[in-house]
Structure 1
């Protein structure tokens, strides 16, 4: 496990899991939100993001957390040796997105881009969850399984499975 990709719908605990895996394996962690967005929450120019992303996946070791663009998603699938697909039931994703926003009223979520609005991020996450069945579906899983030949594919479907991976989650 040298190149690990953690991905899935918003609010599934991907960032916590990626942070844990990076620490356990001694690998550098690269949250895509911190590569894709400026500190004020605006998106990086496309070319700058693609270049920064390519620099990361050209590295010998990494844990990358997030989706990014479809183009970069499939590049990471090809470059990774371990794919971790966090695919919890939709109510859990909606609850954890909402909970992150509620907690943000008192403190900024860990790893949240500096200056970025948690409220705007929450709205974007809710919209993404509403649209998710169009992308996060059986056809995607079949394509992932096909592309994962010779790689390790971990499909996490429950909080229990997240906990089995060694991560502590509240709620």
Structure 2
């Protein structure tokens, strides 16, 4: 486990899990939001993003948390030796986005891009959650299973499983 892709729908706990995983494994964490956005909250140009993403995925070890542009998502899945798909129930994802929004009124969430609005980001997460069943579904799981012959594929379906996974890794 040296190249780890952590992904799932918004509000699935990817960032929290990835930070803990990075601390336990001493593998450098790269959160996609910090690669996609400039310090002022604007999107980086696609060429810059692709170059940074390629540099990370071709390095010896990494944890990348997030989704990003679809083509880079599939490149990341190909480059990874470990795929961690956090597939929590929708009600939990909506709750986690809401919790982040409410906390974000007082304190910017850790790892949140500078200059980026927590309110706008949360509404974008709600919108993506509404659209998520079109992508995060049984077809995706089948593709992951089909294309992970030489990889470790871990599908997490509850917060308890997330906690257990961290315990198993330590």
In the alignment, which residue of structure 2 is the partner of 1:54? Answer: 54
| Distance in 2 separating the partners of 1:39 and 1:126 | 23
| Distance in 2 separating the partners of 1:128 and 1:151 | 28
In the alignment, which residue of structure 2 is the partner of 1:29? Answer: 29
On the 8 A contact 1:32/1:65 being kept in 2, the answer is yes
Q: What is the 5 A alignment of 1:3-82? A: 3-82=3-82
Question: Match of 1:121, SS?
Answer: helix
Deviation track 1:24-56 (CA, whole Å, cap 9, x = no partner) reads 111111000000111121111111111111011
Which 5+ residue runs of structure 2 have no aligned equivalent?
none
Which 5+ residue runs of structure 1 have no aligned equivalent?
none
In the alignment, which residue of structure 2 is the partner of 1:100? Answer: 100
Deviation track 1:97-148 (CA, whole Å, cap 9, x = no partner) reads 0110000111110110111100010011000000000000111111111111
Q: Which runs of 4+ in 1 moved over 2 A?
A: none
In the alignment, which residue of structure 1 is the partner of 2:113? Answer: 113
C-alpha RMSD over aligned residues: 0.9
TM-score by length of 2: 0.96
Question: Match of 1:49, SS?
Answer: helix
In the alignment, which residue of structure 1 is the partner of 2:83? Answer: 83
On the 8 A contact 1:104/1:118 being kept in 2, the answer is yes
Q: What is the 5 A alignment of 1:112-151? A: 112-151=112-151
Question: Match of 2:109, SS?
Answer: coil
Deviation track 1:75-108 (CA, whole Å, cap 9, x = no partner) reads 0000000000000000000010011000011111
TM-score by length of 1: 0.95
| Distance in 2 separating the partners of 1:62 and 1:56 | 7
On the 8 A contact 1:77/1:147 being kept in 2, the answer is no
